[in-house]
Amino acid sequence: MSILVNKNTRLLVQGITGREGLFHTTEMVAYGTNVVAGVTPGKGGEWVLNGKIPVFDSVKLAKEATGANTSVVFVPARFTADAIFEAADAGIELIIAISEGVPVQDMMRVRSYLDQKDVRLVGPNCPGLLTPGEARVGIIPGNIAIPGNVGVVSRSGTLTYEVLYALKNLNMGVSTCVGIGGDPINGTNFIDALRMFEEDPQTEKVVLIGEIGGTDEEEAAKFIANHMSKPVAAFIAGQSAPPGKRMGHAGAIVQGGTGLAKDKIKALKDAGVKVAKHPEEIPTLF
């Protein structure tokens, strides 16, 4: 078992003929992900990867021809909202938006629309999803994790990689890694992922990687205290960040006395979560 993606995922890539899209499609295919189609308007009828993957003008045509059920979005930020709308209207069940720099107003429109449909969005500005040994959707390196029973959910891309590698070095495998992204408005949040891990029989323990800004970690702590039976370990980035300064992600900013690392750490500890002082310590907390 896993959550969100596995060997049965039929993936299409929006923006497959662009530099980033083509590079990461090559990497995903090499990992064994079942990439069935690509979409670039105006380039329908072409093929990429030496004739292995067909390119379509629209997601609707790609889904009808290939049965794709998941999309990963590699398009410029100004086109990301339209790409998500197109995938949702075509009936794609899971959309992973890698693009960074998507305007907050665009994401407000996207969330308002997707909340009315049976579609799950991961991202934007996220590293994607990795179910080791089955599917790699996005930009998470496939060689830094092995299959296992630890679920990982993270707001930070780079820290995700550090934790996955630290787990691997101690021969601890991962069921699925979910990079939810660090933007103020995104699709899937901590609670969504925690709920799926709690319900997944393969996942026996969970790692949560948070950062300063917002109150998502505090809300996750409440959910863990009331609904999680599986052990959770966590790390909060930005403990030495100065108030009022944005640190990397649009959502990583402390304002008005909220979003402080110490408050997030306290909330998690009060919920029974073991909080690491540094990412490499996480595997030793279970």
User: Which domains does the chain show, CATH number per domain?
Assistant: 11-122 (3.40.50.720), 141-285 (3.40.50.261)
pLDDT at 18: 97
Reported residue count of the chain is: 286
Using a 10 angstrom Cβ sphere, with 0-12 exposed, 13-18 middle and 19 or more buried, the burial of residue 229 is exposed
What 3-state DSSP class applies to 122?
A: strand
Quote the mean pLDDT of the chain. 93
What would the two tokens of residue 176 be? 């699925």
Segments in the chain below pLDDT 70:
1, 240-258
Q: So which residues are the catalytic ones?
A: 249
Whether this model's pTM surpasses 0.85: yes
251 within 8 A of 155, measured Cβ to Cβ = yes
190-199 and 216-227 are packed helices; what angle lies between their axes, rounded to 10 degrees? 20
- The pLDDT tens digits of the residues spanning 96-150 come to 999 999 999 999 999 999 999 989 999 999 999 999 999 999 999 999 999 999 9
pLDDT reported for residue 117: 93
pLDDT at residue 232, rounded to an integer:
98
Residue 167: the pLDDT is 98
201 phi and psi angles, rounded to 5 deg = -65, -25
pLDDT at position 76: 97
Give the H/E segment covering residue 156: none
